[in-house]
């Protein structure tokens, strides 16, 4: 636990009056078992914004349908059902699998997309794998015509989950480069771009109360600057939970044990340069626990981090104060 023996005084420096938060044009659909939303700042251009948002959503949904384990027809499901150790995958799945390898490095091994069987066991739909029983070695190499070649140990199956959602948010925002202020919400993982002189208010969900807000971030750019991009992502143990007898399991698997992580963190939110990195770091903080997790986030140089602990404390790294709404 953090904070038991600490005395902290916080003072805020006087700040300029921020601009009013953007009231966006929002278009939503569903993908990968969750919501997919485009928000655009489009005062006076609502019709054009709606058109562009729908086009972007259509493209993002097609990508998502290749990466979802919830669709039997997805390329990911095909890969997971194939017993071969070496096989070729398409460009989109190849890029996201490569992002999964980067996530292993970024998280010090705590975020591992090859934990599908442990995840299914936590849900109760499969037997729990024995820790370390079978190596989960795998790699990916470039193939012909933008494809990729996956090499894996027998039995390795993938759950792209948040890595895919973070990637979709970042890639989706690239599609909307004509809109200086835009947000892609991929089931809670946000890719945010803000134009100078504007402000996005981003609410951090409080998982203890429906519709409540734990904190509000103000992401803005001063007049005269260039548009800025952020990634904001939240991970936690309080939504995907299953009871098996007298035990409660959640969906965040600790690769060190191949079982749901034992942690004092209920939820972690991270602000950094991309939605993919924010997602990986938020999940890392939850699995690592509050003390180790905060230290890891600090070393990673994130722009902000807010953690809700089992004890009900809401903790943040100091640099987060500059982003919190007054």
Partner 1 sequence: MAPASVPGPAKPRPAVQRPNPTRLRFALGTGGIAALSALLTAIVAPPSATSPSSPVAIPVAQSTVTQQRPIQYVQLSAGEAPPPGATVIDAKAPKPITIVTTVPAPAQQPVVVRTTQSGTVVP
Q: Is residue 185 part of the contact set for partner 1 (CB under 8 A)?
A: yes
- Selected from 48, 216, 228, 300, the binder of partner 1 by CB under 8 A is 216
Q: Which two tokens stand for residue 205?
A: 């969900």
Q: Is residue 207 part of the contact set for partner 1 (CB under 8 A)?
A: yes
Q: Is residue 316 part of the contact set for partner 1 (CB under 8 A)?
A: yes
Q: Is 17 helix (H, G, I), strand (E, B) or coil?
A: coil
Q: Is residue 125 part of the contact set for partner 1 (CB under 8 A)?
A: no
- CA geometry: angle 6, 299, 163, nearest 5 deg: 115
CB neighbour class for 222 (10 Å; exposed up to 12, middle 13-18, buried from 19): exposed
- Selected from 157, 165, 193, 249, the binder of partner 1 by CB under 8 A is 165
**Binders in 266-295 for partner 1, by CB under 8 A:** 267, 269, 291-292, 294-295
If the CB atoms of residues 150 and 163 are measured against partner 1, the closer one turns out to be 163
- Selected from 19, 34, 90, 155, the binder of partner 1 by CB under 8 A is 34
If the CB atoms of residues 52 and 187 are measured against partner 1, the closer one turns out to be 187
Q: Which stretch binds partner 1 (CB under 8 A): 51-59, 148-156, 256-264, 310-318?
A: 310-318
Q: Is 148 helix (H, G, I), strand (E, B) or coil?
A: strand
- Selected from 18, 23, 105, 137, the binder of partner 1 by CB under 8 A is 23
Q: Is residue 317 part of the contact set for partner 1 (CB under 8 A)?
A: yes
Q: Which stretch binds partner 1 (CB under 8 A): 47-55, 68-76, 98-106, 314-322?
A: 314-322
Residue owning tokens 């981003």: 202
Distances in Å between the alpha carbon of 248 and those of 58, 129, 215, 260, 305? 37, 17, 27, 9, 27
CB atoms within 10 A of CB 226: 8
CB neighbour class for 246 (10 Å; exposed up to 12, middle 13-18, buried from 19): exposed
If the CB atoms of residues 140 and 275 are measured against partner 1, the closer one turns out to be 275
At residue 163, φ and ψ (nearest 5 deg) are: -60, -45
If the CB atoms of residues 150 and 182 are measured against partner 1, the closer one turns out to be 182
Distances in Å between the alpha carbon of 130 and those of 133, 135, 258, 266? 5, 11, 7, 26
Residue 309: DSSP 8-state: E
Nearest approach, Cβ of 140 to partner 1 (angstroms)? 24
Instruction: Label the pairing between strands 189-194 and 228-236.
Output: antiparallel
In angstroms, the CA 189 to CA 266 distance is: 17
- Selected from 131, 135, 203, 311, the binder of partner 1 by CB under 8 A is 203
Interface map 70-89 toward partner 1 (x if CB under 8 A): --------------------
- Selected from 94, 100, 129, 188, the binder of partner 1 by CB under 8 A is 188
Q: Which residues pair with 138 in a beta bridge?
A: 152
Q: Is residue 29 part of the contact set for partner 1 (CB under 8 A)?
A: no
**Binders in 230-249 for partner 1, by CB under 8 A:** 232-236, 238-240
- Selected from 86, 210, 245, 246, the binder of partner 1 by CB under 8 A is 210
Nearest approach, Cβ of 86 to partner 1 (angstroms)? 31
Q: Is 180 helix (H, G, I), strand (E, B) or coil?
A: coil
């Amino acid at each position: 636990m953090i904070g038991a023996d600490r005395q902290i005084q916080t003072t805020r420096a006087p700040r300029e009056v921020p601009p009013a938060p953007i009231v966006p044009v929002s278009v939503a659909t569903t993908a990968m078992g969750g919501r997919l939303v485009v928000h655009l700042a489009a005062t006076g251009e609502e019709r054009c914004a709606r058109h562009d948002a729908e086009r972007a959503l259509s493209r993002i949904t097609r990508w998502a349908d290749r990466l979802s384990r919830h669709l039997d027809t997805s390329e990911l499901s095909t890969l997971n059902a194939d017993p071969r150790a070496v096989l070729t995958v398409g460009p989109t799945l190849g890029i996201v699998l490569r992002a999964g390898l980067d996530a292993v490095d970024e998280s010090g091994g705590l975020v591992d997309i090859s934990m599908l069987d442990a995840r299914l066991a936590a849900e109760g739909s499969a037997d729990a794998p024995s820790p370390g029983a079978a190596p989960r070695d795998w790699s990916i190499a470039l193939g012909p015509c933008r494809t990729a070649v996956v090499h894996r140990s027998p039995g390795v199956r993938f759950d792209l989950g948040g890595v895919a959602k973070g990637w979709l948010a970042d890639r989706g925002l690239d599609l909307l480069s004509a809109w200086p202020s835009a947000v892609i919400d991929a089931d809670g993982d946000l890719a945010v771009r803000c134009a100078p002189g504007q402000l996005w208010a981003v609410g951090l969900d409080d998982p203890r109360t429906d519709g409540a807000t734990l904190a509000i971030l103000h992401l803005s750019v001063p007049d005269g600057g260039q548009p800025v991009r952020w990634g904001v992502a939240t991970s936690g143990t309080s939504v995907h939970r299953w009871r098996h007898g007298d035990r409660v399991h959640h969906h965040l698997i600790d690769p060190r044990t191949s079982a749901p992580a034992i942690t004092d963190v209920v939820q972690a939110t991270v602000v950094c340069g991309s939605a993919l990195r924010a997602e990986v770091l938020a999940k890392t903080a939850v699995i690592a626990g509050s003390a180790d997790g905060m230290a890891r986030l600090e070393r990673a140089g994130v722009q902000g981090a807010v953690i809700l602990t089992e004890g009900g404390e809401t903790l943040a790294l100091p640099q987060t104060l500059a982003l919190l709404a007054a």
